Structures are given as C-alpha cells and as structure tokens.
Structure 1
C-alpha cells in the first residue's frame, strides 16, 4: 500500500524536477499550452541562466526548464526517460493528446509496451523527452 505521507526522516516540503533546454520557448509552450500546466515562476540573468517553472498552483511539485546562454546538450538520453501523469479521466487524456497533436506533437509508440497495454498515451516534447498520460484506473507497477 502506498503511503500518503513522506517518511519522518525525510521531511520534504517541495519537489522540483529540473532540466536544461535550448528550446525554452517551445518547451514552455508544450507544457503550458499543450499539457495545461501553469507558469508559476521564472527568472533571467542568473549566472547566465534563464528559467521557467511550471506546475499546478498550490501544489509543491514543479518542473523547471532552464536555458544557459552558452547552450547545453538537451536531448533525452533514451526513449524510456519518462515523465508520467496519472489522470482520473480518460476524456482529459484525449483532450491533452488532441491539443498536443494540433501543436505538432503526435503520440508515439512507447519503448516499454506496458504503457500501450494500459491505454496510456506517450508524446515527445520538443527536446525528445517523453511524457506519458496514464489512466489512473490502471494500477501502477
């Protein structure tokens, strides 16, 4: 059974997943306009970095995308590096996939067949990192 509390010896108050990109505007549009996350913060000129934080207002799980003025290697290391969103509503998955498809990001076959077997939708972001939209009624393994 999954615990709903962080362990007492690990009193986490916030989680942020950060990665670089050389396509900051495209990546922000993908996650903001396509996925539907909100821009919850941004910064410029911090030691050569510009960045945007996306997430859900009031929720302490964020994505941070940064761009360094000198650039960086931003390609996904494999097709199985995933960001997975579990959604309660199959219709919501279809809406998100439809929005992203109209933006030029069609669904792609997953590397691991588990996701297809459970009716998930996989889409690559502008840097080739894969995002999976998984129906919550499917058990996580």
Structure 2
C-alpha cells in the first residue's frame, strides 16, 4: 500500500520530530541509547531546577528526530510501555549480533517480539525502562 500526501500537512522530511517518554533512570537510558545503540547525547540538564524535569535528549547528530527522556524527581512517572510500543530502526542489512550483544551489555534485554514479523526480520531489545527497540533487517520506503 502506498502512502499518499493530500498536501494539507505541515510535516515533511525536514520537520524535526521529538519523541518524549519518561524514564526511571536517565543514566541507564543513556548507557543503552548512547553506549549500546550509538546515538549521541544532544542535550541534558546539568543542574536541578525546582519544579523542573531532568532531561536527556539523544539522537543522531544533525538528524531530524530525537528522543527526549524525562524524569521528574519530585513526582516521578513510572514508564508504562506495552509490547507494541516500538522504536523500529530499518537497517537494510542483517542485524549484527555484536550490536545486540552491546545493547544487552548496556542494560537492554533481548525479548521475543509480540508480532512474529519482527522476529522474522530482526531482533527486539527492551531498553532499561521496558520500551522495545526493533532492529529490522529490511528497508523502509
């Protein structure tokens, strides 16, 4: 099925996208996404601001998207991922088991996919908060 634009949206391939989600431990999340997956720290809070959230932003340098991981130390939210909350990376080549091993060593947990499609075409690793990263051998587009 082809996707079609009806010309009424304001989002295109250059629009910057931020995906925000809570984290129990920003240090653990940083190890997973930076040391494990290889993303860069784009920004983080460096001091406590009363009433403010602790923030960690990770993504590819110069990319048009990033994750904002948050923790409110005064009123923390418990992450509530489901088996279908996925961050899918289309690699366009076989999944390197060394990458999966690095993600596990960085605090991830390899898990079976809820949808068997992802097991057929890749590997699923839960991050320290339980959100699932899928490394897919296929391409998109």
Q: Distance in 1 between matches of 2:87 and 2:119?
A: 15
Identify unmatched segments of 5+ residues in structure 1: none
**1:75 alignment partner, one of 45, 67, 80:** 80
Q: 1:113 to 1:61 in 2, by over 3 A?
A: same
Q: Which of 26, 31, 34 in structure 1 is aligned with 2:33?
A: 31
What is the alpha-carbon distance in structure 1 between the residues aligned to residue 11 and residue 85 of structure 2? Answer: 27
Displacement after TM superposition at 1:31 (Å): 0.4
Paired residue total: 135
**Which 5+ residue runs of structure 2 have no aligned equivalent?**
none
**Aligned partner (choices 5, 24, 44) of residue 42 of structure 1:** 44
Q: Is the 8 A contact 1:97 1:106 kept in 2?
A: no
TM-score (norm: length of structure 1):
0.82
Q: For the residues of structure 1 that align with 2:109 and 2:73, how far apart are their CA atoms? A: 30
Please give the per-residue CA displacement for 1:10-63, whole angstroms capped at 9, x wherever unaligned: 145210100111211101110010011001112244532010111111111101
**What is the RMSD of the two structures over their aligned residues, measured on CA atoms?**
2.4
2:57 corresponds to 1:53: yes
**CA-to-partner distance for each residue in 1:72-129, whole Å, 9 max, x for gaps?**
12131x11211111112325x32320211333534211111111122x1001111111
TM-score (norm 2): 0.82
